[in-house]
Amino acid sequence: MNIRERLGKELLFLDGGMGTLLQAEGLAPGELPETWNIEHPEKVEAIHRRYYEAGSDVVLANTFGANVCKFHDDRYTVEEVIRAGIANAKRAGEQIGKETYVALDMGPTGKLLKPMGDLDFDDAYEAFAEAVRYGEKYGADLIHIETMSDTYEVKAAILAAKENSSLPVFVTMIFDERGKLLTGGDVPSVVAMLEGLRVDALGLNCGLGPKQMLPILEDLRRYTSLPVIVKPNAGLPKQKNGETYYDVEPDEFARIMQEVVKGGACVIGGCCGTTPEHIKKLVEECKDLPLCGIEKKHDTIVSSYGQAVILDDMPRIIGERINPTGKKKFKEALKNEDMDYILKEAITQQDKGAHILDVNVGLPDIDEVAMMEKVVKELQSVTSLPLQIDTVDGKAMERAMRIYNGKPMINSVNGKQVSMDEVFPLIRKYGGVVVGLTIDEEGIPKDAEGRVRVAGKIINEAAKYGIDKKDIVIDVLTMTISSEKDGAKVTLEALKRVREEFGVRTVLGVSNISFGLPRRPIVNSYFYAMAMQNGLTAGIINPSSEDMMKAYRSYNALMGFDENCTNYISTYAGTTETVTVQASQTGTATGSASKTADGKMTLKYAIERGLKEEAHHITRELIGTREPLDIIQEELIPALNVVGDGFEKGTVFLPQLLMSADAAKIAFAVIKDVLASSGQEEEKKEKIILATVKGDIHDIGKNIVKVLLENYGFDVIDLGKDVPPEAIVEKAVEENVTLVGLSALMTTTVVSMEETIKLLREKKPDCKVMVGGAVLNQDYADMIGADFYGKDAMQSVHYAQKFFGMAE
Amino acid sequence: MTDARTKEAIRYLGYGRHAVDEQTLALIDVSFGELDQTTQAKSVYRIFDCKVTGEDQVTIGKMNIKSRSLGKNLRGCKEAVVFGATLGTGVDMLMKRYSLTDMAKSVVLQACAAAYLEEYCDDLQLSIEEELKAQNKWLRPRFSPGYGDFDIHHQDDILRMLDTAKKIGLTMTDSYMLTPTKSVTALIGISDTQEKCHIKGCEVCEKKDCIYRRN
């Protein structure tokens, strides 16, 4: 019988530890256990047989590390160890006298995925896909993905399993005692993602003993509608004389595992430190226990790698700012691939209180699929907020859903058949909470009744794909009141009705309501409050708009979602209605030196002291009285020079240099805005490429150099970290850049620096190269053929100025 | 009052003997506060047999290392602690965020994270030593791949010997850089005799002109 037919209907027993038993047989620390499938097949088979004899229904083949990222052996291939591993387990199951199953065991790659590590998501997928293909080819009955601590890696493994086989997929992850993954994810975020990817069963293994797993099991059962697996260690790891051991004996293990079964697990076994004796006891004590039923859950959950956002009765905020519509600067940023600009929008919205970020990068003349992938990946490196993928391009949507680390929100599907035919299969495959717009072939219904009807149509169609209504949030659409008198009333009524009639959560883009009216935030914020009152779950708003946030915080305080009004008080206590520029606190501490004759602070002073708020404020004042270029020449540049000189003399230190740089940057931004709005052309800037070379992920030095070069008026093209030589050369040729700065931290990556220089010499001979980084010195720089070695960031500035023939 | 980790962070920022300014000190303070919230420090260690042959042949478990400076460090040790520690990925993300919005903060945070990690390793080392004292054993200063002529490529062996990816989420890139970036691996010799020594390896380093050097 296929194991899927038994899953959840009877208690199934897995095996116990493998590594510990192999070590007892002589496997050395650091040796690859999978090689034993070929070199000591009889020993591996004997361990499997002991588990079957102890009562295991399923054993995991000895293939935990059999993937190309982890298994590096010059004698055997991944295919050979998987084939032998499955054969050993199958032989062990012969003559057991009951139906047995062999799982292809897939553990982690042992590498950290980008952006925190250097393994690409697609490469991780390919490594797992290879193992899956061999697993199915050599007769595994199911795939067990286990001991995972990173949702991104587990997603790659699950997609690999589902796309390359039709076998059942079990997934277990490692949680700590606080119920968190190593990468920070919590139980609801894991459940949301795994259920979205349609695994067959999910649960816990390793990390903890059975007792510590009980509360996490409870949490799992609170959120999941799937069969739950529990595979604990024989207690918490303990250390003695530098050796790890586990000390929960078989009797005690089995006794606590009874609680685990009563707590709702229906597939159980053991992990590190558990033996055939543990499993034997476990089977004896648990086999007659009744199973708890599996309840269907109705929470609407979106997740990122680090957190879940549960859309419940308390309203949540979807930040609308990552969207080029009507934003000139954002469009520019997209065209120039200026990721920093986009990432800062994300950080600002998070700091202002957004819970989810909408991501829309659609522009007529860009490759939206590539841009969407790039932006989503970059966003995942700076924010743990879940993302809402906002696009009308099905390909961009699919790509984003694939590489997204979590269960995304999807904006959007609508009641048109063609839209539903395109979007629902993606939701079915990757998981996601999808926004359903109440519009269909006949347009937007004029009345609430019509919009409710379209909502129903969307929900019914989704059901055909097995998509539950908890994964649909309805957008009844905001109409502009200046052109439609009853627009707001219809929207509010429809909102209320879809909440009541279908029990689904809702979304609205709020600010459309005031289009064409003066002082739009007034109308927006009132409408926002009314919408929440009528059942709006998540408004898509600008969290930097104080009017909207006032409405949001007040609503929560009024409706009892802000206990003791804590949030409201912490935000508004001690504030007054008028916004005043507050002096930065760190600045006042040093304010003893004289500022000017009349005691008023000068811009030069503010920048020298690194006072950002003041620099901003004073620049705005100066703009009215002095020419922008004068401000730059007479205030900004002299201040930067004073600080730069001090740095080189050793009287000013790196943090101070950078505080000044940040303050200057703000002053420059104010001036730039004024120049732009008055239609004046900015001075043409010299271009410099900066990159941290391939293989190197330490980019702080490069970032310091970037800030300073920008301050001195250079146009820095920042290619980021771990940049292949080809990409640097290609950019230099494409943009005709004649100065490239490279950074590398270690001897192992200076090699790529040398390669990059060689390739530049070949393809762009007029390009000079300056280098810097911890292991470099003048000799080393000469050896790899660099034109200049910068001991510190200021030296790079001087070199660049000299190179472009600028006065210092 | 400046505590040990603050002093260490100031040293990493290159202040040497100079007094630190108030603004930077305030940033250091805030940074440690954020690190206390963000770090998920984890460590793992095992004890292996250790043998030093000639000037530069060192064997730890099944790992063979050719290194004169490590040989010197471990001379006379029959056992060695192999350990790995990490502050987790959250710190990397925090530094990345600040590199976009506040470069000074990013640099200070980086220095504070390094000091935090050092202190964490020191504490760990002290607790291991405490356990070994009962057996009349003492620890040498810790020594990491990349110090002196101890080849960085042994990073791979060490991570595998400790199974750090699974146990504490510590991995490395193809260029042998540890990820998360705020992580350490090291060998610590176990000696039968107590020597007057410092826990850290800074003083034994041959780069005497290093601006980050203590004293």
Q: pLDDT value at position B197?
A: 56
Q: Is pLDDT at A775 greater than 90 in this prediction? A: no
User: B174: nearest CA in chain A?
Assistant: A695
CATH number at residue A122: 3.20.20.330
User: A654: nearest CA in chain B?
Assistant: B13
Domain shared by A116 and A197, yes or no: yes
User: B133: nearest CA in chain A?
Assistant: A241
What is the count of structural domains for chain A? 4
Q: pLDDT value at position A584?
A: 41
Instruction: Tell me the C-alpha distance between A212 and A228, whole Å.
Output: 16
**A579 part of a folded domain:** no
Closest CA to A772 of A793, A757, A754: A793
Instruction: Tell me the C-alpha distance between A589 and A584, whole Å.
Output: 10
Instruction: Tell me the C-alpha distance between A157 and A155, whole Å.
Output: 5
**A316 part of a folded domain:** yes
Residue B14 phi/psi, 5° resolution?
85, 20
**A222 part of a folded domain:** yes
Q: What is the mean pLDDT of residues A130-139?
A: 98
Domain shared by A262 and A308, yes or no: no
Query: pLDDT for B72-119, tens place per residue?
Result: 889 999 999 999 999 999 999 999 999 999 999 999 999 999 999 999
Residues of A in contact with B22 (CB under 8 A): 586, 589-590
Q: pLDDT value at position A551?
A: 97
Domain shared by A691 and A673, yes or no: no
User: A650: nearest CA in chain B?
Assistant: B15
Domain shared by A511 and A606, yes or no: no
CATH number at residue A458: 3.20.20.20
Domain shared by A93 and A224, yes or no: yes
Token pair 């935090």 in the structure block, residue: B116
Query: pLDDT for A3-35, tens place per residue?
Result: 999 999 999 999 999 988 999 999 988 889 999
pTM (2 d.p.): 0.92
Residues of A in contact with B108 (CB under 8 A): 655
The alpha carbon of A112 is separated from its chain's Cα centroid by a whole number of angstroms, namely 13
Give chain A's length. 808
Q: What is the mean pLDDT of residues A766-783?
A: 93
Q: What is the per-residue burial (b if ≥16 Cβ within 10 Å, else e) of A765-793?
A: eebbbbbbbeebeeebbeebebbbbbebb
Token pair 């040989």 in the structure block, residue: B71
Instruction: Tell me the C-alpha distance between A700 and A163, whole Å.
Output: 39
Do residue B62 and residue A28 have CB atoms under 8 angstroms apart? yes
Q: pLDDT value at position A3?
A: 96
pLDDT band at A578 (very low <50, low <70, confident <90, very high): low
Instruction: Tell me the C-alpha distance between A505 and A301, whole Å.
Output: 11
Q: pLDDT value at position B110?
A: 96
Query: A763: which 2 tokens?
Result: 């393809």
- A497: three-class secondary structure by DSSP: helix
Domain shared by A604 and A477, yes or no: no
Q: pLDDT value at position A183?
A: 85
pLDDT band at B205 (very low <50, low <70, confident <90, very high): low
**A359 part of a folded domain:** yes
Q: pLDDT value at position A590?
A: 37
Burial grade of A442 (CB within 10 A; 0-12, 13-18, 19 or more): exposed
Do residue A654 and residue B26 have CB atoms under 8 angstroms apart? no
Closest CA to B5 of B107, B121, B106, B99: B121
Strand ranges (E), A402-522: 409-414, 433-437, 472-475, 505-509
For testing the chain B interface, which of A27, A748, A750, A756 should be mutated: the one with the most B CBs within 10 Å? A748
Q: Tell me how many degrees the CA angle A611-A613-A615 measures, rounded to the nearest 5.
A: 65
The residues near A108 (Cβ < 8 Å, ≥ 6 apart) are A70, A147, A148, A149, A150, A153, B165, B166
Query: pLDDT for A530-574, tens place per residue?
Result: 999 999 999 999 999 999 999 999 999 999 999 999 999 999 998
Domain shared by A259 and A329, yes or no: no
Q: pLDDT value at position A585?
A: 39
Classify strands B138-139 and B171-172 as parallel, antiparallel or unpaired: unpaired
Of A382, A656, A748, the CB nearest to B97: A382
Q: Domain of A271?
A: 3-286
Query: pLDDT for A230-276, tens place per residue?
Result: 999 999 988 887 788 899 999 999 999 999 999 999 999 999 999 99
Residues of B in contact with A752 (CB under 8 A): 175
Domain shared by A644 and A716, yes or no: no
CA of B97 to nearest chain A CA: how many angstroms apart? 5
Of A30, A110, A704, the CB nearest to B157: A30
Domain shared by A149 and A278, yes or no: yes
Do residue B97 and residue A242 have CB atoms under 8 angstroms apart? no
Q: pLDDT value at position A30?
A: 83
Query: pLDDT for A421-475, tens place per residue?
Result: 999 999 999 999 999 999 999 999 999 999 999 999 999 999 999 999 999 999 9
Q: What is the mean pLDDT of residues B55-63?
A: 92
Domain shared by A42 and A141, yes or no: yes
Instruction: Tell me if B97 sits within 8 A of B75, measured CB to CB.
Output: no
Query: Of A659, A677, A695, at which residue does a domain stop?
Result: A677
Judged by phi (left if over 0) then psi (alpha if -120 to 50, else beta), residue A451 lies in: alpha
Do residue B22 and residue A586 have CB atoms under 8 angstroms apart? yes
Q: pLDDT value at position A237?
A: 87
Query: Of A677, A705, A725, at which residue does a domain stop?
Result: A677
**A187 part of a folded domain:** yes
Strand ranges (E), A490-594: 505-509, 538-541
Q: Is pLDDT at A592 greater than 50 in this prediction? A: no
- B48: three-class secondary structure by DSSP: strand
**A58 part of a folded domain:** yes
**A196 part of a folded domain:** yes
DSSP category for residue A584: P
Q: pLDDT value at position A20?
A: 85
Q: pLDDT value at position A591?
A: 38
Residues of B in contact with A646 (CB under 8 A): none
Query: A458: which 2 tokens?
Result: 């969307």
Q: What is the mean pLDDT of residues A188-207?
A: 97
Q: pLDDT value at position B202?
A: 59
Domain shared by A155 and A215, yes or no: yes
Higher pLDDT, B215 or A658: A658
Q: What is the mean pLDDT of residues A490-495?
A: 98
CA of A704 to nearest chain B CA: how many angstroms apart? 7
For testing the chain B interface, which of A181, A186, A659 should be mutated: the one with the most B CBs within 10 Å? A659
Residues of A in contact with B185 (CB under 8 A): none
Question: Within chain B, how many helices (H) and strands (E) appear?
Answer: 7, 8
Q: Is pLDDT at B215 greater than 60 in this prediction? A: no
**A580 part of a folded domain:** no
Query: Of A222, A252, A286, at which residue does a domain stop?
Result: A286
Give chain B's length. 215
From residue A395, how far is each of A375, A392, A416, A431, B209 by CA, in Å?
A: 15, 9, 18, 16, 56
Percentage above 90 pLDDT, chain A: 85
Query: pLDDT for A677-732, tens place per residue?
Result: 777 766 778 999 999 999 998 999 999 999 999 999 899 999 999 999 999 999 99
Q: Give the containing element (helix H, strand E) for B65.
A: strand B63-66
Q: Is pLDDT at A290 greater than 60 in this prediction? A: yes
For testing the chain B interface, which of A700, A702, A721 should be mutated: the one with the most B CBs within 10 Å? A700
Domain architecture of chain B: domains with CATH: 4-204 (3.40.109.40)
Do residue B104 and residue A655 have CB atoms under 8 angstroms apart? yes
Closest CA to A103 of A73, A131, A127: A131
Name the least confident of A7-16, A503-512, A739-748: A739-748
Query: pLDDT for A650-677, tens place per residue?
Result: 899 999 999 999 999 999 989 988 887 7
CA of B72 to nearest chain A CA: how many angstroms apart? 23
Instruction: Tell me the C-alpha distance between A70 and A30, whole Å.
Output: 12
Q: pLDDT value at position A326?
A: 86
Residues of B in contact with A111 (CB under 8 A): 165, 171-173
Instruction: Tell me the C-alpha distance between A387 and A368, whole Å.
Output: 17
CATH number at residue A597: 1.10.1240.10
Q: pLDDT value at position B206?
A: 61
Q: pLDDT value at position A624?
A: 83
Domain shared by A420 and A311, yes or no: yes
This model of the complex carries an ipTM of: 0.89
How high does pLDDT run on average in chain A?
93
Instruction: Tell me the C-alpha distance between B110 and B116, whole Å.
Output: 10
